[in-house]
Amino acid sequence: MRRKKKKRGADEQLLDAIVALENEWKQIQAIVEKSIEPTEDIFYRQNIARENYLFLLREAKRRKISAIRYNK
């Protein structure tokens, strides 16, 4: 019983991190699209945010976590 509660907590943290990284990535994309001359630094940050987001998505898929299941 205790193990399931810990797993559920860890899964919820993973989903929260996914949502936060997705928002960060989208904000950076919006900045790049609105910029006249984006710097290399912003492209670097965009790639890092994207890769972190995709990594967490793969981890959620590996754990078979669905965001729909945790919205209850």
pLDDT score at 23: 94
Look at residue 5 and tell me if it is in a domain. Answer: no
Look at residue 38 and tell me if it is in a domain. Answer: yes
pLDDT score at 71: 57
Confidence label for 8 from pLDDT (cuts 50, 70 and 90): confident
Number of domains observed in the structure of the chain: 1
Instruction: Supply φ then ψ for residue 62, to 5 degrees.
Output: -65, -40
Domain span including residue 26? 12-70
Report the percent of the chain where pLDDT is more than 70: 88
Look at residue 40 and tell me if it is in a domain. Answer: yes
Residue with tokens 């936060």: 20
pLDDT digits 0-9 by tens, 44-58 = 999 999 999 999 999
Look at residue 2 and tell me if it is in a domain. Answer: no
Look at residue 51 and tell me if it is in a domain. Answer: yes
Q: CA 72 to CA 59: how far, in whole Å?
A: 21
13: left (phi over 0), alpha (psi -120 to 50) or beta: alpha
